Every structure is written in C-alpha cells, then in structure tokens.
Structure 1
Amino acid sequence: MGSFAQTAPAGAGGTLPAVTVREQAEVPQTKNDLRVRRTEVGKGNQELRDIPQTVTVQTERLIDDRNLDDFREVLRTTAGVTFQAGETGEEDVRLRGFSLQQAGDIYRDGLRDAPLYERDTFNDDRIEVLKGSASMLFGRGSTGGIVNQASKQPFLMGQHEVDYTIGTGRLHRLTGDFNFHTGENAAFRLNAMVHEAENWGAEQSKRGIAPTYRWGIGTRDEFSVGLFHLDSEGRPLYNHPWIIEGGVIQPLLPARNYYGLGNDRLDTRATFATVSHVHRFDHDGQLKTQLRHGRYERDLLASAIGFASPTTRATLSDATVLRRTPKARTGISELTQLASDYSGNFNWGGRRHELLAGVDLYRDEARRNNNFTAGLAPAPTTTVGTPDDGAVRPDTRGPTPFDTFDARNIGLYAQDLVSITPTVKLLGGLRFDHFRASFDRFNGATGERSDSLWSPRAGLIWQPGDTSSYYVSYGTSYNTSGDTYQFAPAGPSNRLINTAPEKSRNLEVGAKWEVFDGRALLGVAAFHTEKYNERNTDPDTTASQELLSGKRHATGMEFNLAGRFTPRWEVFFNHTWIPEAEIDESNVVAAANGGGSQVEGDRPALTPRHSGSLWTTYRILPKLRVGAGVNYRGSQNPEGARNIRADSFYTVDAMAEYSFTEMVSARLNLTNLTDELYADGLYRGFYTPGTPRRAELTLKTLF
C-alpha cells in the first residue's frame, strides 16, 4: 500500500487533512515475460504456488513470439490437449482425454464463454489452463480442467502498439492496442484487429474490436465497462479423407489442398458487454462483481470430403475422384451471467484464513440446428489434382427449423485456505449448484430437467520456504444431461432427459519451485482422473434412456517450466504423460462393435501417452533475438474407430526478431519448418490436417 503525504496548511495547527490511501497502479506484467506469479483462474487473485493443481499459463509475450493468432493454436501448444474433428473443431476439444469445449469449459475473465464462435487472441493478455476437476469453482463440466482467457485491461500509463503481419496463404493482419491514461485513476484501452487470409482456398476474414474503460483504479471502488465484438467469415477446410495401412491412418493429401465448394461458409459472430465493480475492504478483502450479456452466432455449411470409391496408396492419383457431402450447423445463443466473488484474508481462532466465496447465475437462451441439409442438391465431385476448383452448390434449404433451449443455473461456493502452521496450509471448499433446463424441438418434442449437486474440494499445502510448495488435492466435477448439445442428438424420445449427471473425481500430488533466483517457475505433478458413472446407451431400451454404467480413468504426470534462465535466455515447457488410461467399465460389446467405439479394456480415444510443447528464445545480440520450438503429440485413436490409430508427430517452429530501435522491430516466424504432414483432429471416418509450413513477417511499432 502507498499513501500520498500532504503538507498541513498554514494555521491548521497539528491537524492534517484526510489522507487518501491507494494501491499501487497495476501495469501489465505478461507483455515481456513468459511466467506469471499471480492468477485469477482459481477465483480471487492468488499466487500460483497457493493453487494445489497444475496451472499452465501462456502469456502475451509467448503468444506474440509464436504468432498464435487463433485460440486453437494456443491450445495446440498446450500439453494434454487433443482435438476431435468435425464441425471445424467447434464441437469438441479434449483435455487429458476428457471433453472440454462441448461441456462448456472455456471461460473469459472467469465467466463462461459460449462455444459457437471462432476465437482470436487479439484481446488476450494471457490464456490460463487449470487442469483437473474444478466444479467447486466453476460448476458443471471441468472433468479434465478449464481454460480461461484473460482480457487486456486498461492501466495507468499512455502506451500504444500497432502490428502488421504479412504471410504465406496471402495473409494480411493488422492489430492495434491503444491504452490512454485519461485521469488520475482512470484509463481507456482499445484493441482492434483486421485479418484477411486466402489459405489456398480456405479463406478467412475477421474483424474484432474491444474497447474498455476503467476508473477508480487502485481505489476503494473500481469500475469498468467493456464491449467485445468479433466477426469471422470464411470457407472452412472441414476435413481430408484418410487411407488406412496396417491399422495406421495415412494422411497423404497435401495439407494446403482445399476441396470444399466455392460457396461453403463458416460465419461466426460474438458480441457481448461486461460491467464490473471491485470493492476493497479495510481488512484486506475485496468483492468483485461482473455482469455480462452477449449474443453468439454460428452458421456452417461445409463439405465433408471422401473418396468416391475405395482407395489405397497404390491407386491414389491426381485423377482420384472425391465426393463432397454437405455438413451444416447453425446456432444462436443469448447468454446472460452475473457473478460476485469475495476474496480476503483474516485471522480467526489463532489461524490465518484466506477465504474465497461467491455466487453466480447463468442463463443460456439458445437455438440450434445441428445438421440442417434438407433441400440441398447433390454437390459436384472433384479430383485430388484439382483443389479449390471453384465449383458451387446453391443454398436451397429454405428457413432454418430451430430447436430451442433454455438453461439456467445458480451456484454458491465457499473455500477456506487455513494456515495450520507457518509452513502448512489446509484447503477445504464446497459448492452447491441448482441447474434447470428445458427444450422445445422443431419436431414437437419437449422436455425439462432439473438437478441439484454438491461439489467438494480439499487440499494440503506444505511451503517450507518462499521458493517451494508441495501439495496434495482432491476435487470433483459433473456433467449435466441437459445442456444445449446433449438434448439435441437424442431424437424424438430425448433419452438424455432421463439420465442423471455424470460425475468425476481428480486426485493430484505435486510441487512447484522458484528456480534460477526466482526468474522461473517449475511444476511437477502426478494425477489420477476418473469418470466413474459415464453415460452408456441402455442396450435393452436404446430409444428411451441411457445408463450411468460406464467408467474410465487417466493416470499420469504433468511438467511445467516457464521463465528466464539468464537475462538473455527464456524457456517455456509443458508436457503431459499419461502412461495409463483405460475404459474400465462399458456395456459396448467388442464382437458386435467391430471397429467402432471403445470397449471395456481399451485406451480411451484422443488420449495420447505423450503431448507437449517446448519454446525457447535467446538474445544473441542487443538488437537480435532468436527462438525455436517443438510441438509433439503421441499416437492416438479417433473417437468411434477403436481399431485404427494416428501416428505420433512433432513439428518445429522458429523465430527471429530484430529491433531497429526501442520502438520499432520486425519478427519473422516459420511454422512447421519441415512441412510435416500429420493428422491434427480425428473422427471416426476422417481427419483434419495440421498446419502446413508457413512464413509470417510482423512489423511492430510502439509509441
């Protein structure tokens, strides 16, 4: 805390006027560093060493250095993350093998983010991944963890930055970050982005703007109001067909090749406004309240590409015919959220307590049509040797018939971190959620579901010094059977309405150390995550209900390292090792299933043994900094195809940055330097290719 001393006016005797006490103004810390010391991913503003779970943070510096403009590119460099192909990646992202995005585990500033739109990093200060079950903090979902996008906030300094990027695939990208110090404790920040890329046929055009005004910064009462708008239009590369040899997927078509139609589209839009207030109490506590309302839209009409006849490596040629099957997905969500979180420290019973408590309310009014292709004429075929042939198919579908959904949730939680001794802390928390949802399908079916659930969390932390922290923690999570995705595929009978929530638990033992004189943070953890009542279709009444008869687990280790080894040398490393993962119980029979979904005893789909990323930079001259990195992912099975697998792969990236002056610099990024051809996302009949080799040059100016 700091205070501004005032001189007593003449004749005032010994009486001084009132002194205004203010906290030191915050200045962004992640712009020039690969590590962070504090985070709000666990609610409140906590040191990473006080969170008894694995937390991986990708800062703005790391995102810029690697030119990670798309949110999914950040996830691809995060250990433990895999992708299910289909719906162009919007449908399902996995963390430690458990569904992430479909369960709604993507957040922005601690509030749930709708899954419909294509995210961009132009307004991200950092992206934080909390791994392991976390329903005590966030409610439904969060079996494998959650991802939080921390938005850029105004700060008390005049500082501006403009970046222009030109790259392969006819990429042109312009971003601006403008921060205005408008008053003693007020600031306005504007982030904006324009992005155009042809991508050899898979076009993308994006526009984004995010203004935020913040006042009362560092005072007792702080306010902010912000708007976010992101509009993305383009033609998606939905998939490539595979050839199987010896049970291994062979991605033989060039990753650049776009075989979709000229009028395919993937158009998404997100617009939301956020109002927040922070009240700081005298006893070192604060109450943060956020209100957000937004509208999110997605309109997909794409072509699923397949071989027109059985094809092998020997018969594959430029003349091989490809069919184009329509895939469509349309959705609109009106999402309203209110969250109020208290965090504070106090002494009671001779012990120091760090209390977190809060309440949050959530309502999602949604409309969906998950495969609206009725009325479309057959698409013309194409050949392997004629990508991006310009062929079109008129959109003759007529008005979209929507299913409508209304999901509501109220949650209350409290957590206490008690200092039992100067070096030992005990963590205990409990959350209660009441979830209600209703739906009205366009075929006339209706239904409702209501659940009340308790989510505990416990942990023990030993901190023998300021540079080390050892912990053990236990947490739970649940997935309701009534969100806007899981009503939809059940057909007229809506069997999921009769199914209670799935439940999971996570046990983690780990340690975090400050290394290299506090310039870097090293974390190591062992975990066991178990979903112990997974949904299975009832074999006797497949049309009317599902059973919570399934069970699966994943056991492994996490490794994280971020920071500076020397003033010139920076390193970011994260690795997930899952040597043991298994479907423990399932009613799916292998003999009848053939090559389909995983059965009892199988390793779960999209759960590689090894995955991770390494990135390092070194300043070899005062004006020249170079960097290199490796992304890798082990062999894995697609969902719904247990008898085949995709090979492991690694890609190499490189960077060189030259500073002409302190205010002007140029950076060259090379992505997938060896032009590795690999399957990035997997589904039961196809894959999405990984990014081909790209070169991008960015010019940056500060003023």
Structure 2
Amino acid sequence: MTASSASSTIEHPAPSAALQPAPLPTVGRLRLPRVRPAMLASAVTAGLGVVSLPAAAQQAASPAPATLPAIAVEGQKPAETGEGYKAEESASPKFTAPLLDTPKSVTVITREVMEDRGVTSLKDVLRTTPGISLGSGEGGTAIGDRPFIRGFDALTDTFVDGIRDGGAQSRETFNLEQVEVIKGPGSAYTGRGSTGGSLNLVSKTAKAEDFNEGSVTLGTDLTKRATVDVNRMIDSNIAFRINAVAHDAEVAGRDEVEVQRFGFAPTVTFGLAKPTKLTLSYYHLQTDDIPDYGHPFDPRTGKPVGVDRDNFYGLTSRDFQKTYYDGATAQIEHELTDSATLRNTTRYSYSENDYIVTKPNASLTQILAGEMSRESRSRNADSITVANVTDVTGDFEAGGYKNTYVAGLEVSWEQSKNRGYTLNPATITGVSLYNPNPGDGYSGSIGPSTSFAHVETTTMALYAMDTIELTPEWEVNLGLRLDRYDSDANGVNNSGAYTAKTTDAFLNYQAGVVYKPLPNGSIYVAYATSSNPAGGAAGEGGDAGNPSAATQDLSPEENRSYEIGTKWDMFNKALSLTGAIFRTEKTNARVSVGSGVQQNVGEERVDGFEIGVSGNITPDWQIFGGYTFLKSEIVDDGPSSSNDGKEFPFIAPHNISLWTTYNIDTAWKIGGGAIYTARRFANTANTYELPSYWRLDAMAAYKVSEQVEVQLNVQNLLDETYYDATHAGQFANVAPGRTALLTTNFKF
C-alpha cells in the first residue's frame, strides 16, 4: 500500500453482533485463526526374476551353456492419482470406475501441473484450465471464485473432498492434491446445482512415510511466498501432516492492488494399517486484499475503455476485502469385508467475506468529458455449514455380472447471513478517467446497512451409483439421487421486510453405456440431469440466490445433458486422450415476467465439443491441455423475448489451453504454455464484450541436488493486456500482467 493510502486509512465500521464474531488478536494486517469449541466437537464426533539353481544341478547342466546378449527393457510407469500430469481415478468414491471407463468428461489438474505452472490460487488454476470461463462478483453476488463450466455458473458448485464448500471464497493451492472438474449436469453426484458441472478440491492427507518439503518464492511486484509440507509417522499406525502458507504480493500491471494470505492445514490419521481408520483434519485460511474491479466499459464501443492498464479507480483509504475460513473434518473408515468399506464424514466450516470495493462506471457524457464515477459495493457476510455423509463402497457379483457400487446418505445444514454497508456518499463523480488518484481521501460516512438477508438451508439425500460389467467390452454406469431441500429466508430489502420458504423434493439420475474396443480405450454415450431449486445459491445473491416472494413457489429449474465421448490411454497408459460432443439444456429457467414476478418459462441451451490431453508423450516429455468449443443460446427469454437467440454472457465460443514440459537431462527441465480465449459477451443483451486474447507462459527448473531445486516461472510472458472476467457488463476485471516468480523448492 502506498504511503499516501496508509496515511488516510479510516476505521471500518464493525458489523452487527449477529454477524461479527469476537475480535481476534492481530499480526500486522492478518488476524490469528479462530478456534471454535463447536467446530472441534463436530469434528471429533462425527516383473522379471532370476532363480539360482543348487550347485549339484549346476554341475549336471551342460558344461558350455550358451551366452545370451543382455536385453534392455524400458517402459513408463503409469501415473497414479495425484502423480505426474495424468490421473487414473477420481478421488471421489462416487466414481465407481477408473476415469478411462467413466461415461463423463472429467478434467483432473494434478499437483505437479499446478507446481510446474507456478499457480498459487484456485483462480489461477481455473484461468489456465481449458473450457472454463471466469465471472466476477459485485455486491449482490459476492466477490470470490466464480467459474463457468460448459456455459453455466458454478459459483456454488465447489466441493472439498466431496462435501459442498459454501460461501464465496478466494481459495488457495497450498493444501491441494488435485482439482477435479466434473463436466455436465451432475446432481446425481452433487445434489442441487451443477448445471454445467462442478469442482472437487482434493486435500493433502497424512501418508505412511516421513518427509519434509517446502518452498520460498520471490518475484516481481514485491511477491513473497513461503510454504511448508511436513509428514511424520508417529508409529506404524499413526501419521501426522501439516501444510502452511504465507503469501504477500502486489498484482502485476495494476496500481495499488495487494494480496495477502496466510493459512495452515494439519491432519492426523489413526489406524493406517488397521481395518478401522480415523482421519482428523483442520483448515484455516485468511486473506487481506485491496480489491479491484478493473476498468469501466465504453458505451461507444461496447468494450473496456482505452486507458492505461495500470489505472486503478478504487480508493486505498476506503476499499478493503478480508476473508476468513475455518473448517474441521472427521472421517472414519471401516472395512466391513474384503469387498465392502463403510465411511462416515462429518465437517463443520465457517467462512466470512467482508469488503467495500469501488465499481468504476462511465456514462457516454462522462467519457466525452474524460471523467468517470466511483460507485461503491459492499458485503459483510458469514456462512456456516455442518454436513454429515455416510456411504458404503464395494463390489459384488449378481447374475454373473460384476457390480462396483457406492450408496450413501447425506445430511447438511447451511446458514448464511449478509448485511452490507451504507456509504454516504455512495458514488463519487468527477474522477479523472485517464489519471485517477487512488490516494484520494474519503470524507464520507460508513455505517451498517439497514438491509440484510438471513437464510437457513437443510438438505437430506439418498444416493446410489453402480458400474455393471456385462462383458470385458461392455459396461453400464447408473446413478440415482433423491434430495429433500428446505430453505427459509428472512430479511429487509428495498421493498421492505420479507420472509420466504422453499421446500422441494427432486430426483436426479444419470445413465451411461461404455464400450471398450481395446483394454486401453473406451467409447461411451451418457445422459444426466440436475436441478436448481430457488435459493440454491443462498447467501450469494442474484436471482438464483436467496429465496424470495418472487421465487419461493417456483419449481426447481431442470437441466439435462446428452454426451458422446471417447477416452484412450496411450504409450503404456502414460498419456490420456479424450474427446466429447455434448448438449446441455435448461428447460424451465426462471425469468422475470414483470415487476417482482418470476416464472419457470425460460429455455437455454449449450452445444459443444472438447478434446483433452494429459500425461507423458515420452518419459521426459509431459503435456496437459485441451480445446473447447461452446455454442450457447438463450432459446426463450420469457414473454419479452428481448434476448431470444442471444449468446450467454461470459462464455467464450473457443478456448485453448496447452502446457508442456521437457526434461533436458537429470538436472534441467524447461516448459511453456499458451492460452487462447475468444471474445466473450459481457451482458445478456450482447451489447458489451471482452476482447479475445492470447497468453504465453514459460518455466525453467534446475535441480541443484536431491534436496534443492530452483524454478523460474514467467506468466504472461509478452505482458498482454487482457480482461478475464466481468459482472453483467458493469466493469471489466484486468488480468495480471507479466509476472516472474523464482521459487526454491527444498527437502530437509
């Protein structure tokens, strides 16, 4: 933060007691983690061989045996889950077959891909993953990770180790083993939501070995980052692991924007070699940032204004964003038999998102005068989730057919509270468009908003998945889930006080047929459904967010997909090639048909195809990436028909992402990648757009010794100015410029 901004910092008003927990001790700008007794209580309760002949036999053998030349046998070890660039299986027990035999598109970003690319946040991971577009929060829809998968918003479709992770957050990578992008409607897997797909973040866990690893990163824009990963065997049955991170940086190409993060994640497993295993884990992450809404749009061109990339329109004396996340998990696994395992997982999580941010806006009159307005958006929200999942996995034979199954029961309770801030003035006009001063003081008043929203959601679900092997060449994959969903809301908005209640029961399913012409390849057809009940994005705002009088009596939106695909493992299973053609339909979308009135009369559709590659071409050459084509269409926008035939906002029709590395020798590794994103419309009317862009990345690593490796990453190598997100065409988020990161990885 600049000196001018530091000198003009004001005291931010405290939210109401219902929203603001007790103050915490501070270290610099970061608060120490909050340990809640309820959290801890919830966690606790809840081959070739050579055979030598005996000497006598050797003497009896021929006295002049033939001498055969030595034969060198080379091969590639297939990558296991989380190792290399290719994953064999999903970490979720709901996938009852290896990825090769799963009739669904799944992209897995392994830890090695993330480390080689030098990404440090989930947004970085998603930005470099083919087929994913980024959206932005604002005020009603919170700032946080907001991916769009196959054209549809997946803001609330993020899961951690298979359990829904509520609340808008900016997530880290320090405790991630891999990120799984599960594409297409999938309520049979996840419950509500997942119209275009979902994310499953797989956490690092304790292992049956001892190791000490860490990294220190220094880079451009005052980047400083350190991580540590320590695993210890307490005895043959108990292992402990802890991961931690500290991150402090500015953002390349953006004046005044800052990012600070601190987190740690311990986990301990009891019974590693026992039929009953207990794993206890805890996760804490807190951030302290200067938020950034980028540049305003120019109404004359429908594109972001033509100003210097580093122009920052916020106020460092006023704007802030602080987030906190605490989660505790207890998982018990018990081997019922050699072919059946019972698992119970209980999680308590608390997240907090608190910010005031400047939204840049410029009318045509203002732009002609070289001016713009600083509008304000704010949020002060917290979310609590308590979830328990019990499932049994295994296999059996029935009628001569092998069945690999999972069946389970899920119960969850979610609470979300949100009260923003009232700023007077809320808008500052007459700000220079071409030479804004982020150090301008704010002399207005800031207080708690009179509007608020309080939502409680209870979900109970039964589900079952089964893969049936009919013959070595033919398999059938089936899935079924029944949800009971209850959401209660109360609050105050512009129309006054309100209460709303939504109760729904919905059944979703999936079915796929897999044909394996060869053991290393599969061809499949699949059909799947999903449901979006009113209030399904509770706490995040927007039309799909809090239940209201306009939505409480509406049926869940219904989605379905058709997919034909193929998957092949090449080069002794070292390289995976995938391809799919698909259609996703939303048949009863909620649309506004008048003031405060909504109906299930809309229709939306996405047609597309994608190809993907991951793994090793040779033992020294790795590759990861793909291409996605999406043709989105608002088929029916309701009675007004004003947007019929328009494309979805935020969705690029063409997206390419490719990354590759090569081991020159035992010490040197080099790599590089390219990302292309076609133009995306920024609003539903298709009048504003974000331009297309190319981005190039590069890396080089040198292994100094078995304990030390030095790695250089240069992201956005050509320093391209591009915009990677927006919110309804109200502003254009500026992506980071050229960033150089020098990382020392060490083992000790």
TM-score, normalisation: structure 2: 0.84
Matches within 5 A, 1:152-163: 152-163=204-215
> Which runs of 4 or more aligned residues in structure 1 lie more than 4 Å from their structure 2 counterparts after TM superposition?
27-32, 244-247, 374-382, 485-493
The one-letter code matched in structure 1 to 2:127 is: R
Higher deviation after alignment, 399-408 or 160-169: 399-408
SS in structure 1 at match of 2:441: coil
Q: Deviations over 1:552-586 (max 9, x none)?
A: 111111211100111111100122112x3211122
1:488: Cα distance to partner?
6.8
1:462: Cα distance to partner?
1.2
SS in structure 2 at match of 1:675: coil
In structure 2, what is the Cα distance between the partners aligned to 1:491 and 1:504?
20
1:218: Cα distance to partner?
4.4
Instruction: Choose from 332, 336, 344 the match for 2:386.
Output: 336
1:152: Cα distance to partner?
0.3
SS in structure 2 at match of 1:142: coil
Instruction: Choose from 334, 337, 351 the match for 1:296.
Output: 351
1:429: Cα distance to partner?
2.0
Residue 688 (structure 1) aligns with: 733
Contact 2:509 2:528 in 1 (8 A): yes
Residue 227 (structure 1) aligns with: 282
Higher deviation after alignment, 493-502 or 332-341: 493-502
Q: Structure 2 vs 1, CA of residues 702 and 491 (structure 1 numbering), >3 Å: closer, same or farther?
A: closer
Query: Is residue 68 from structure 1 mapped to residue 119 from structure 2 by the alignment?
Result: yes
Query: Is residue 40 from structure 1 mapped to residue 84 from structure 2 by the alignment?
Result: no
1:686: Cα distance to partner?
1.7
Residue 411 (structure 1) aligns with: 461
Q: Structure 2 vs 1, CA of residues 236 and 59 (structure 1 numbering), >3 Å: closer, same or farther?
A: same
Contact 1:30 1:60 in 2 (8 A): no
Contact 1:116 1:268 in 2 (8 A): no
Q: Deviations over 1:429-469 (max 9, x none)?
A: 21110000101113431121100111011110112332111
Residue 93 (structure 1) aligns with: 147
Instruction: Choose from 681, 697, 704 the match for 1:653.
Output: 697
Higher deviation after alignment, 654-663 or 684-693: 684-693
In structure 1, what is the Cα distance between the partners aligned to 2:360 and 2:338?
62
The one-letter code matched in structure 2 to 1:78 is: T
Q: Structure 2 vs 1, CA of residues 175 and 491 (structure 1 numbering), >3 Å: closer, same or farther?
A: closer
Contact 1:261 1:393 in 2 (8 A): no
In structure 2, what is the Cα distance between the partners aligned to 1:302 and 1:601?
34
Q: Deviations over 1:662-691 (max 9, x none)?
A: 210111111111111112112322211112
In structure 2, what is the Cα distance between the partners aligned to 1:363 and 1:668?
45
Query: Is residue 179 from structure 1 mapped to residue 231 from structure 2 by the alignment?
Result: yes
Higher deviation after alignment, 135-144 or 257-266: 257-266
The one-letter code matched in structure 2 to 1:418 is: I
SS in structure 1 at match of 2:189: helix
Contact 2:564 2:580 in 1 (8 A): yes
Residue 639 (structure 1) aligns with: 683
Query: Is residue 571 from structure 1 mapped to residue 623 from structure 2 by the alignment?
Result: yes
Contact 1:84 1:638 in 2 (8 A): no
1:185: Cα distance to partner?
2.2
Q: Aligned-pair RMSD on alpha carbons?
A: 2.3
Instruction: Choose from 452, 455, 471 the match for 1:402.
Output: 452
Matches within 5 A, 1:74-473: 74-87=125-138, 89-90=143-144, 92-101=146-155, 104-199=156-251, 200-244=255-299, 246-247=301-302, 249-250=303-304, 252-262=306-316, 263-307=318-362, 310=365, 320-369=370-419, 372-376=421-425, 379=428, 382-383=431-432, 384-389=434-439, 391-393=441-443, 396-398=446-448, 402-442=452-492, 443-473=496-526
1:92: Cα distance to partner?
4.2
1:157: Cα distance to partner?
0.9
Query: Is residue 50 from structure 1 mapped to residue 101 from structure 2 by the alignment?
Result: yes
The one-letter code matched in structure 2 to 1:279 is: H
Instruction: Choose from 680, 699, 702 the match for 2:744.
Output: 699
In structure 1, what is the Cα distance between the partners aligned to 2:161 and 2:450?
33
Query: Is residue 605 from structure 1 mapped to residue 640 from structure 2 by the alignment?
Result: no
In structure 1, what is the Cα distance between the partners aligned to 2:247 and 2:136?
24
Contact 1:44 1:343 in 2 (8 A): no
Aligned residues: 657
1:491: Cα distance to partner?
10
Q: Structure 2 vs 1, CA of residues 604 and 396 (structure 1 numbering), >3 Å: closer, same or farther?
A: closer
Q: Structure 2 vs 1, CA of residues 351 and 119 (structure 1 numbering), >3 Å: closer, same or farther?
A: same
Contact 2:403 2:466 in 1 (8 A): yes
Contact 1:379 1:393 in 2 (8 A): no
Contact 1:44 1:342 in 2 (8 A): no
Contact 1:259 1:389 in 2 (8 A): no
Contact 2:293 2:731 in 1 (8 A): no
Contact 1:373 1:397 in 2 (8 A): yes
1:400: Cα distance to partner?
6.7
The one-letter code matched in structure 2 to 1:670 is: V
Q: Structure 2 vs 1, CA of residues 575 and 476 (structure 1 numbering), >3 Å: closer, same or farther?
A: same
In structure 1, what is the Cα distance between the partners aligned to 2:168 and 2:148?
16
In structure 1, what is the Cα distance between the partners aligned to 2:301 and 2:426?
37
1:379: Cα distance to partner?
4.3
List alignment gaps of at least 5 residues for structure 2: 1-77
Q: Structure 2 vs 1, CA of residues 330 and 243 (structure 1 numbering), >3 Å: closer, same or farther?
A: same
The one-letter code matched in structure 1 to 2:392 is: Y
SS in structure 2 at match of 1:39: coil
Contact 2:168 2:540 in 1 (8 A): no
Q: Deviations over 1:96-139 (max 9, x none)?
A: 111111xx200000000113221111100000001011101110
Contact 2:421 2:448 in 1 (8 A): no
In structure 1, what is the Cα distance between the partners aligned to 2:593 and 2:182?
34
Query: Is residue 665 from structure 1 mapped to residue 709 from structure 2 by the alignment?
Result: yes
1:645: Cα distance to partner?
2.3
In structure 2, what is the Cα distance between the partners aligned to 1:585 and 1:617?
46
Contact 1:679 1:687 in 2 (8 A): yes
SS in structure 1 at match of 2:115: helix
1:250: Cα distance to partner?
4.0
Query: Is residue 494 from structure 1 mapped to residue 549 from structure 2 by the alignment?
Result: yes
In structure 2, what is the Cα distance between the partners aligned to 1:60 and 1:251?
38
SS in structure 1 at match of 2:159: strand
Matches within 5 A, 1:529-548: 529-539=584-594, 542-543=595-596, 545-548=597-600
Contact 2:593 2:639 in 1 (8 A): no
Contact 1:106 1:115 in 2 (8 A): no
Residue 61 (structure 2) aligns with: none
Q: Deviations over 1:594-630 (max 9, x none)?
A: xxxxx11122222221113100001123211111001
Contact 2:294 2:733 in 1 (8 A): yes
The one-letter code matched in structure 2 to 1:97 is: G
In structure 2, what is the Cα distance between the partners aligned to 1:42 and 1:159?
27
Residue 664 (structure 2) aligns with: 620
SS in structure 2 at match of 1:201: coil
In structure 1, what is the Cα distance between the partners aligned to 2:259 and 2:235?
39
1:282: Cα distance to partner?
2.1
Q: Structure 2 vs 1, CA of residues 55 and 424 (structure 1 numbering), >3 Å: closer, same or farther?
A: same
Q: Deviations over 1:196-253 (max 9, x none)?
A: 1133411121110100001212431111001000011111012311225555x14533
SS in structure 1 at match of 2:417: strand
In structure 2, what is the Cα distance between the partners aligned to 1:258 and 1:45?
49
The one-letter code matched in structure 1 to 2:606 is: A
